[in-house]
């Protein structure tokens, strides 16, 4: 089982993951990119929050301006070595200017949380034994960073200038 960690705290998951062939339940749903593209009009016409889940080979710029009508983008890590979602999150946050939730789902390690946080993820489906202390520890391991990313953190170059 997993639980949802969002913006630094555990949170109830308001969204229902919905299979491509299942009827849409009431309330917020997460659908695949394929289903979103196919049923775009219907989904956008519903008066409930929508999330789209992307596989690691699906470029989120396919969503275009629609992204800002979504509440959630879930990015898959099929295995922790597959680092494509690090770029996808960056594009969603920086290029597409998405302000909603970017959720990491699938196989990732404690040691990747801080990098995911930097590229724009703000929500994680984590295993049940995971604690907030662990999350905070992961983010605190490296105080400073050398390169700008999607987290707006001051880089070492900027800190040096002061």
Pairing of the two strands 2-6 and 9-11 = antiparallel
Which of 86, 98, 124, 135 lies at the binding interface for another protein (CB under 8 A)? 86
Nearer Cβ to another protein (23/152): 152
Nearer Cβ to another protein (20/158): 158
CA distance 102 to 98: 9
58 within 8 A of 65, measured Cβ to Cβ: no
Q: According to the binding rule CB under 8 A, does residue 20 interact with another protein?
A: no
136 within 8 A of 108, measured Cβ to Cβ: no
122 within 8 A of 92, measured Cβ to Cβ: no
* Least Cβ distance, residue 46 to another protein (angstroms): 31
CA distance 49 to 68: 11
Convert residues 104-143 into a mask of x (bound to another protein by CB under 8 A) and - (unbound): -----x-xx-xxx-xx---------------------xxx
Binding site for another protein (CB under 8 A): 59, 80-84, 86-88, 90, 94-95, 109, 111-112, 114-116, 118-119, 141-149, 156-157, 159-160
């Amino acid at each position: 089982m997993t639980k949802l960690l969002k913006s630094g705290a555990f949170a109830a998951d308001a969204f229902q993951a919905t299979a491509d062939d299942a009827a849409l339940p009431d309330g917020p749903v997460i659908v695949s990119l394929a289903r979103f593209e196919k049923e775009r009009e219907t989904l956008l016409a519903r008066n409930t929050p929508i999330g789209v889940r992307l596989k690691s080979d699906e470029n989120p710029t396919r969503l275009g301006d629609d992204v800002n009508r979504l509440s959630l983008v879930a990015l898959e890590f099929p295995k922790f070595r597959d680092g494509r979602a690090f770029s996808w999150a960056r594009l969603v946050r920086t290029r597409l200017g998405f302000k909603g939730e970017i959720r990491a789902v699938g196989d990732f390690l404690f040691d990747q949380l801080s990098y995911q946080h930097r590229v724009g993820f703000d929500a994680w489906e984590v295993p049940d034994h995971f604690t907030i202390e662990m999350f905070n520890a992961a983010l605190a391991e490296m105080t400073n960073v050398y390169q700008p990313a999607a987290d707006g953190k001051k880089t070492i170059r900027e800190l040096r200038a002061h």
